[in-house]
Structure 1
């Protein structure tokens, strides 16, 4: 064989062997299962998901948020209200002494701190909360029970000084002492229909009985509204029957302590209390009287009259 042809033959054989080896290696790689790729941990989002904020309601077309009603806080029906001990007699000071005391309070650091705390509390509480409470929960806190508060656990009526429609200075405890009394308290004109629902029924049954009486208390805590109420007193005198004038008491000024003691949760509602001759609160109701409350009030009044004999 020609040496040149022999060299060419060896080159062709070597190229053919290389091609067969490459093909077999590719087939081997194709048949061998490859390991699954490792999953990389998901990247944490730059901004964490937050809960969808509650939708804010606005007043009309303004950007002022509508105040949300707070849960209604009431006392348990039939729970004793009042103060633990009998109220003492209030000292009726002349006008000059009241003005002097007012100046001393203004200059007193302790009184200034108390006033500041009251102002902060008034600012943090929305003016519309009581209105929202009525709109969402109605004009009654609860329906009054049909039983008297036992004499052993009953508490005493706190005292409050005011001016009667007859023009005299009076204390509500002194007015209630010695007789079975229906005491009504109202803070706004809206509550008048509530208190009258008890008074009219009470007077219809016991109007001529000298052992029972009605005492009405009209309270205005806001100084600006108090000035308006003073101007409207002639109208109040004309609208209230004259026999009630000596027992219709008007008070100007804050009574937060009285409201807390008597369980007055919403001052827009009228309140009625049955007070025995020893000035103990034996029954109370709120809002407009329903039929069962009216019947209970009359029956319990008769029971107190029998016990007072």
Structure 2
């Protein structure tokens, strides 16, 4: 039977949004799943393929939300990453919204969603060189949800991907201090070329 909103809400209350424990270390490159290629839309309307290919990225933090209510949870992962990675080449931060609703994929709703990506707050350029790259996927997300283990649409998910688009680390819900430290340590390991 297909899960609905009330199933997700009940699950969220019971787990506090933590659908799985955050990884303590990087998963081996050979056994890490590849992100399925998907068309995403940038806030300006340009359609691009994700994950990026032929890129100089060595580590990317991918924060995924289905609903705006997950943004606070995602901030608990993205802020430590941003602080640790600022000024380092090879690090990128993607803020992805998955929009599955047929209604929200049509004009004018789609335009409103894209416009929200242009108005999301970012840190001042002089304070932080690493800025989130807001991207949106409109349409069926069954395959990416399956690959990434995203069972609940009301929480937020954080993943570290390497330069080959492999998922090397994952977390969900609100990060604890220890989980944030693990995220940073794994990010630095990937940045230094660790497999």
For the aligned pair, the TM-score class normalised by the smaller chain equals 0.7 to 0.9
Question: Shift of residue 231 of structure 1?
Answer: 1.9
Q: 1:299 to 1:206 in 2, by over 3 A?
A: same
Greater RCO, CA 8 A, separation 6+: 2
| Aligned pair partner of 1:238 in 112, 116, 119 | 119
Q: Which residue of 2 aligns with 1:130?
A: 8
Q: Which residue of 2 aligns with 1:195?
A: 74
How many residues are treated as equivalent by the alignment?
186
Q: Which residue of 1 aligns with 2:42?
A: 164
Correspondence 1:9-158 to 2 at 5 A: 122=2, 125-158=3-36
| Aligned pair partner of 1:273 in 153, 159, 165 | 159
What stretches of structure 1 of length at least 5 have no aligned partner? 1-120
- The normalised TM-score by structure 2 is 0.85
Q: Which runs of 4+ in 1 moved over 4 A?
A: 242-245
Contact 2:41 2:137 in 1 (8 A): yes
Correspondence 1:243-262 to 2 at 5 A: 244=131, 247-262=133-148
Contact 2:53 2:164 in 1 (8 A): no
Asked if 1:303 corresponds to 2:189, the answer is yes
Question: Shift of residue 170 of structure 1?
Answer: 1.2
Correspondence 1:169-248 to 2 at 5 A: 169-174=47-52, 177-179=55-57, 180-227=59-106, 228-241=109-122, 244=131, 247-248=133-134
Q: Which residue of 1 aligns with 2:127?
A: none
Question: Shift of residue 284 of structure 1?
Answer: 0.5
What stretches of structure 2 of length at least 5 have no aligned partner? 124-129
Q: 1:167 to 1:296 in 2, by over 3 A?
A: same
Question: Shift of residue 176 of structure 1?
Answer: 8.7
Contact 1:177 1:279 in 2 (8 A): no
Contact 1:176 1:215 in 2 (8 A): no
Distance of 1:269 and 1:162 partners within structure 2? 20
Q: Which residue of 2 aligns with 1:289?
A: 175
Q: 1:291 to 1:281 in 2, by over 3 A?
A: same
Distance of 1:280 and 1:288 partners within structure 2? 23
Per-residue CA distance 1:70-94 (angstroms, 9 max, x = gap): xxxxxxxxxxxxxxxxxxxxxxxxx
Question: Shift of residue 148 of structure 1?
Answer: 1.0
Contact 1:175 1:215 in 2 (8 A): no
Question: Shift of residue 232 of structure 1?
Answer: 4.2
Q: More strand by proportion, 1 or 2?
A: 2
Moved more, 276-285 or 131-140: 131-140
Q: More helix by proportion, 1 or 2?
A: 1
Question: Shift of residue 282 of structure 1?
Answer: 0.8
